[in-house]
Structure 1
Amino acid sequence: MTRLLEGKSALVTGGGSGIGRATSIVMAREGAFITVADLSGPAADETIELIRAAGGEAQAVVADVTKPDEVTAMVAAVVTTYGRLDCAYNNAGVAAVHVGAGGQRVGDISQQAWDRMLAVNLTGVWLCMKHELAAMEGQGGGVIVNTSSIAGLVGLPGSNAYVAAKHGVIGLTRAAAIDHAATGVRVNAVCPGYIETPMVAEAMARRGDQILATVPMRRLGIADDIAEAVVWLCSDRSGFVTGTTLTVDGGYTAG
């Protein structure tokens, strides 16, 4: 049976841990050549070693998605090594707690925290897309998947900047899908719910019972749940899907 991404070149940002690492591994299992980009070089290296140990092909790139020169070099590294960029998963991101705004109301968050959140979680996605789109259009097509969140679909208390950024990712995804559809590039977003990752672990430690009570399936998802969704969106099996969001949340947003 042919693997879903056989022979394709794929880029994953934030690939050093959590959902990014899981997606890199699943993409490689499905036949893709992976470029793992992360702010942490050692974390990216760990991911590619896992891929290579399973027989896959991968390279690591250190990149800060808020810095134009590093994003330019990141995309260039993919094309230089593998000749083209077929799939890009823009997954790098930070949570409210990472910018010092966890649990704060809209009127209380600092501008520094707000600016940092949007720089990584929204402007960083746009910057990556800008260079990915140029590479893909030059070769006649490709697929981009952006990580939004259930926070891109509903409001969450104490996460205002994160909610704003993730709503913005969905709007940006839809606009890009329309703008670039005629060039053969598809653009979609995945919206994870509460997934068992280091980013969610802190919230679970503080209010795990409260979180699980909001999920109809009464459990956390696992990173592979998101990875499988991303792989399908990147594959030819979703060839008429663009400008949409795929929500993987155990029923959270169904209520």
Structure 2
Amino acid sequence: MGYVTTDDNVEIYYKDWGPKDAPVIFFHHGWPLSADDWDAQMMFFLGEGFRVVAADRRGHGRSEQVWDGHDMDHYADDTAAVVKHLGIEGAVHVGHSTGGGVVVRYITRHHEDKVAKGVLISAVPPLMVKTDDNPDGLDKSIFDDFQKNTKENRAQFFNDVPSGPFYNFDQDGVEASEPLIHNWWRQGMMGGAKAHYDSIVAFSQTDFREEMKTITIPMLVMHGEADQVVPFEISGKKSAELLQNSTLKTYPGFPHGMPTTEADTINADLLAFIRS
């Protein structure tokens, strides 16, 4: 574990576990969390002989709480700084939710020949918000409410999200886990409010459609059909159609936070793709 300083002088926290000569998987977390959200995956793949790396995005977790640069270009550049510092070109990059957007932008901004494969899990690409040429997207008022709640009562909002739609704990027949809710809240509250506020624009309004068409490396798109946060029809389905070399796996009943609640299934499918 350590820190790397980016070109614009921001301290980015990262974890780096496993043998230095092992194949590398780089994990990118969702909003408003941290590298800790990948515990179930990092421990699993460490046991399978991989070197696993995960970083806290700027303003999130243990990274520096700077007030600016909370956009996909900076997130990709910060990733590049960690990759360069550790010398891990050629890794598999796995992104959940907002982290999926970071994976796409990193591949297209920093050359896909530095990435072996990519994985998008419950990811925000290609474009979440409704626009004239994206009529199936979600209304901007939804994300405006996200920003309002983050600004006015972040502690309450960061309890409501995991208690409800993130893990589908608000659905009939789904048993809530208080430890998971508390861990989500803990991770969120570690980060900076300004970073979380700005990141909502980044994950909802960044348009990845054209750049996704240029990606040729193997990409796995994984999405829960019961995802209430990033609905499959506007995200995973369209991403798989835009990517040149994609495999789509969908999961009936799985929530947005399926890497945590359905870790056994997700890990097995990830392992099969990475080793294929």
TM > 0.5 fold call: no
TM-score normalised over the length of structure 2? 0.39
Instruction: Name whichever structure is richer in helix by fraction.
Output: 1
TM-score normalised over the length of structure 1? 0.41
